[in-house]
């Protein structure tokens, strides 16, 4: 898998993922919080399947 996410995109996804997961345990406890797992996984891998399908790249050219 090639990297298609830039560092800013990865940081934002990781932060939003952590916030959503935190809401599952502390906040309103809705199932939507589990989307945070997907956001964290894509941030760690650096590859977003939706970006690949749409042909989007937010990383700098190599």
pLDDT at 45 over 70: yes
Give 39: exposed, middle or buried? Use CB within 10 Å, 0-12, 13-18, 19+: buried
pLDDT at 61 over 80: no
pLDDT at 11 over 80: yes
For the entire predicted model, the pTM comes to 0.84
In this prediction, residue 12 has a pLDDT band, given cuts at 50, 70 and 90, of: very high
Give 5: exposed, middle or buried? Use CB within 10 Å, 0-12, 13-18, 19+: buried
| Average confidence (pLDDT) over 6-30 | 91
Q: Phi/psi zone of residue 31: left (φ > 0), alpha (ψ -120 to 50 degrees), beta?
A: alpha
Task: Name the residue among 32, 14, 15, 13 with its Cα closest to residue 23.
Answer: 32
Measured CA to CA, the distance from residue 48 to residue 26 in angstroms comes to 28
């Amino acid at each position: 898998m090639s990297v298609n996410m830039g560092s800013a995109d990865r940081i934002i996804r990781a932060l939003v993922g952590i916030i959503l997961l935190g809401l599952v345990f502390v906040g309103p406890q809705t199932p939507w919080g589990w989307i945070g797992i997907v956001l964290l996984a894509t941030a760690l891998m650096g590859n977003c399947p939706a970006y690949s399908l749409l042909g989007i790249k937010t990383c700098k050219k190599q």
